[in-house]
Amino acid sequence: MVSVRLPDGSVKEFNRSVTPLDVASDIGPGLAKAAIAAEVDGQQVGLDYALPDDGEVALKLFTKKNSEALSIMRHSAAHVMARAVMRIKKGVQLAFGPVKGEQFYYDFEVDEPITEDDFPAIEKEMKAIIKKNEPFERIERPRDEALQICKDMRQKLKVEHIESGLADHESLSFYQQGEFLDLCRGPHVPSAGAIGAVKLLFVAGAYWKNDASNKQLQRLYATAFFDKADLANYVERMAEAQKRDHRVLGRKHGFFHIDEMVGQGLILWAPKGAYVRQKLQEFIHLHLQRQGYDQVFTPHIGKLDLYKTSGHFPYYQDSQYPPLINHDQLKKLADEGCTCSDLSNSMKSGEIDGYLLKPMNCPHHIKIFDAQQRSYRDLPIRLAEFGTVYRWEQSGEIGGLTRVRGFTQDDAHLFVTEDQVADELAGCLELVKIVFAAVGMDDYSVRVGLRDPDSSKYVGDPANWDKAELACREAAKTLGKPFIEEPGEAAFYGPKIDFVVNDCIGRKWQLGTVQVDYNLPERFDLSYIGADNKHHRPIMIHRAPFGSMERFIGVLIEHFAGAFPLWLAPEQIRLMTVSEKSEDYGREVEQRLKAAGFKVHGDFRPEKLGSKIRDAQMELIPYMAVVGPRDAESGTLSLRDRVDGDLGALTIDETIAKLQKEVEEKVVKQKFANTGVIAEEGETQNEY
RNA sequence: GCUGUUGUAGCUCAGUGGUAGAGCACUUCCUUGGUAAGGAAGAGGUCAUGGGUUCAAGUCCCAUCAACAGCUCCA
């Protein structure tokens, strides 16, 4: 006898072998019809799963209302998609087909590439399969037999996967749907009819087992919903999300420009974007002063030797612009008969001395620290600079402000004693929190990047790494926010605490970062004189609360959907006249607002007021100051809030006081409805 | 870097191998008005770049550059 415990606490007992479907039927025919899948003792199963004959199990039945059912259905839709593709394309080799966030995909190896032109045919075939409503049948086989089945089907990727990835599985399962049989862990919906509306999205390349050294497969992305209306809603949400894309808004509002002739990933800051950046820099500068930082400036280039010592050149050469060589050196090489390939080789091996566009600011700051003898009494030394760095990012990665080839870090390096590490880390984290709070971004996540024990890309003594990692972990705990630890995410010189946010289409970006480094001080042989009159090695903390100004502002544009709060808005007040009759008074008011420190622009065009207001609304100006004959008479202006509308007449002084207070308090007026784009979650890998 | 898609006016986009188009923005003129679009006229183009096919190419083919999406990478 088996006791089945349901989520409401009730227990049903059965004297026979039952499946989740049987239990559902026992509860009611409506539920049996609505059930999609189930969960038994925390494990997702199909409705035909055989429950144990005795003992007690916890059973949850999923219907369309459960989000679990939605992912299970999408996974089934992936099978239907693969089945449709196999009917249309010859020689299709199946790889994996998991669910990822709101989407699902299937990776194929095909003789003839799938293109978007194939979408209508594939979708049509999928709809036909769904309409036919054939069941998904689970078939379990011992490993040997399963292997043979895949060999017989000539599915070489599945064969490879069974032989390597699934070597320790004794029994494997398949799901069959008509002529389509796929190795799969499941579970699936009972039959294809449960799949509602499907839509193919795009085709992309993806490497077999996510390894770039493996062959590239074709990945077909799609989404599915139980309901047509939900699909329409999804399409709408994606379109909405695109409207707040910083690249779209950046062009529309003139925040920045990227010019082909200047170069890929090189940002030209237009006045409006530059203003926002300036305001942010002023803001953090104030906090740097409070926390005892010293400002420094360093050049954009440095000799190769510097980066050989730091390790940047040997470890990240591929992501750097090649070294700059001087004319004499180049001529000498030419006279010696150096060929292009010789030149390339000697540059790579670092034999030719040149200058590197700096990929990071730390070596320069280290040299400032090292320029004089330091006492323990001087520590901590905190050197800050908005330092611009250049990295040769792969062309396919570059885009907008979030991934660029030249960017400015709000960088600083702290040189501290062992005893000071914890306090200084706390100060750095505090700064990051201040930054996020100032702009009302609270949906960030924290990631502690640790070294990957299997990799050779890290420098230094493992004992130092252990100390640094412990310090990061302890510091992260003080944030009072859950954080994840990710091996392999550390810098080559030390572990770090990263602050990660999502962009408007759900991609994750690292903004602020705080890193603990025992290694660069060693590589540069840094020291300070301790109280014992002996040399001691300082520890470095690298930190950038914004991360990169480019990326931060890119994300910030999306966060505010282009509508900056008053303290950051590049145009704070649009002054407009009701008609040209009030122009003189308008200019007087404009001057007074400007004198009070506001960014004001006067709109004196011979347009109707409604039209001027509309323009200002569209340009997302926080406040409009309307002046007409009545205002000229009473010495007032009519203030209009972009969000709240007409606020009525105020004197100029009242206006200035009100807006200054709003700037002071850094008020964020509008909360934007989340676009509802679901950030990418880890994919559910049902294909074992 | 890889796979796929896309490059037409400042922006968003139409355009069937046969004379280059629209809306918005811009300029000028008319309108002088009180809280989200007043009216008219005008200007604006080497159809990304370079080759090729063709009597004829924005349109078809190839290459390059760039953008977008996804991989891979990201100190």
Report DSSP letters for A15-58, one per residue: SS---HHHHHHHH-HHHHHH--EEEETTEEE-TT----SSEEEE
Q: Does any strand B atom come closer than 7 Å to the Cβ of A202?
A: yes
What the block records as the tokens of A143 is 């490993």
Say which nucleotide is closest to residue A629, CA to C1' distance.
Answer: B34
Please tell me the CATH code under which domain A573-664 is placed. 3.40.50.800
Q: Does any strand B atom come closer than 7 Å to the Cβ of A316?
A: yes
Say which nucleotide is closest to residue A510, CA to C1' distance.
Answer: B74
Q: Does any strand B atom come closer than 7 Å to the Cβ of A396?
A: yes
Asked if A220 contacts A81 with a C-beta cutoff of 8 angstroms, the reply is yes
Task: Provide block-wise average pLDDT over 10 residues at a time, chain A (688 residues).
Answer: 88 88 90 92 91 88 93 96 93 93 94 88 95 94 92 93 87 93 92 94 94 94 95 90 94 94 94 97 96 97 96 94 92 92 90 94 98 96 97 95 97 97 96 95 94 86 94 94 94 96 92 96 97 97 97 96 96 96 95 97 94 95 96 96 95 98 92 55 65
Q: Does any strand B atom come closer than 7 Å to the Cβ of A681?
A: no
> Which fold, A68-240?
Threonyl-tRNA Synthetase; Chain A, domain 2 (3.30.980)
Say which nucleotide is closest to residue A396, CA to C1' distance.
Answer: B1
Q: Up-side HSE of residue A674: CA atoms within 13 Å toward CB? A: 10
CA A465-A467-A469 angle, to 5 degrees, is: 65
Say which nucleotide is closest to residue A362, CA to C1' distance.
Answer: B75
The per-residue pLDDT for range A101-149, each reduced to its tens digit, is: 999 999 999 988 898 889 999 999 999 999 999 999 999 999 999 999 9
Task: Provide residues 591-630 of A with CB closer than 7 Å to any strand B atom.
Answer: 606-611, 613-614, 617-618, 624, 626-630
In whole angstroms, B7 C1' to A266 CA is 20
Say which nucleotide is closest to residue A606, CA to C1' distance.
Answer: B32
Instruction: Report the 10 Å Cβ neighbour count for A88.
Output: 14
The per-residue pLDDT for range A292-338, each reduced to its tens digit, is: 999 999 999 999 999 999 999 999 999 999 999 999 999 999 999 99
Q: Helix-strand-coil percent breakdown of chain A, rounded to 5?
A: 40, 25, 35
User: From CA A170, how far away is CA A38, in angstroms rounded?
Assistant: 24
Task: Provide residues 228-247 of A with CB closer than 7 Å to any strand B atom.
Answer: 245, 247
Q: What is the pLDDT of residue A16?
A: 86
In whole angstroms, B37 C1' to A650 CA is 27
Domains A2-63 and A573-664 are alike in CATH topology: no
Q: Does any strand B atom come closer than 7 Å to the Cβ of A335?
A: no
In whole angstroms, B47 C1' to A263 CA is 23
Residues of chain A with pLDDT > 70, as a percent, come to 98
Longest distance between any two alpha carbons in chain A, whole Å: 94
In chain A the first and final C-alpha atoms are separated, in Å, by 32
The per-residue pLDDT for range A180-228, each reduced to its tens digit, is: 999 999 899 999 999 999 999 999 999 999 999 999 999 999 999 999 9
In order of A71, A228, A424, A685, the CA distances from A101 in angstroms are 8, 18, 38, 12
Asked if A500 contacts A509 with a C-beta cutoff of 8 angstroms, the reply is yes
Q: What is the pLDDT of residue A682?
A: 61
In chain A, where are the structural domains located? 2-63, 68-240, 267-320+359-559, 573-664
Task: Provide residues 262-291 of A with CB closer than 7 Å to any strand B atom.
Answer: 264-265
Q: Does any strand B atom come closer than 7 Å to the Cβ of A206?
A: yes
**A3 three-state secondary structure:** strand
Q: What is the pLDDT of residue A170?
A: 87
ipTM of the complex model: 0.95
Q: Does any strand B atom come closer than 7 Å to the Cβ of A574?
A: no
Q: What is the pLDDT of residue A680?
A: 58
In whole angstroms, B17 C1' to A105 CA is 39
Instruction: Report the 10 Å Cβ neighbour count for A273.
Output: 25
Say which nucleotide is closest to residue A605, CA to C1' distance.
Answer: B32
Q: Does any strand B atom come closer than 7 Å to the Cβ of A405?
A: no
Q: Does any strand B atom come closer than 7 Å to the Cβ of A581?
A: yes
User: From CA A665, how far away is CA A567, in angstroms rounded?
Assistant: 9
Q: What is the pLDDT of residue A631?
A: 96
In whole angstroms, B4 C1' to A496 CA is 36
Q: Does any strand B atom come closer than 7 Å to the Cβ of A635?
A: no
Q: What is the set of active-site residues of A?
A: 362, 391, 409, 411, 413, 496, 542
In order of A25, A61, A128, A225, A686, the CA distances from A64 in angstroms are 17, 10, 21, 10, 19
Q: What is the pLDDT of residue A675?
A: 52
What the block records as the tokens of A530 is 């301790």
> Which nucleotides on chain B have any atom < 7 A from a protein Cβ?
1-5, 11-12, 30-38, 65-75
Range A267-320+359-559 has CATH code 3.30.930.10: yes
Q: What is the pLDDT of residue A137?
A: 93
CATH H superfamily, domain A2-63: Beta-grasp domain (3.10.20.30)
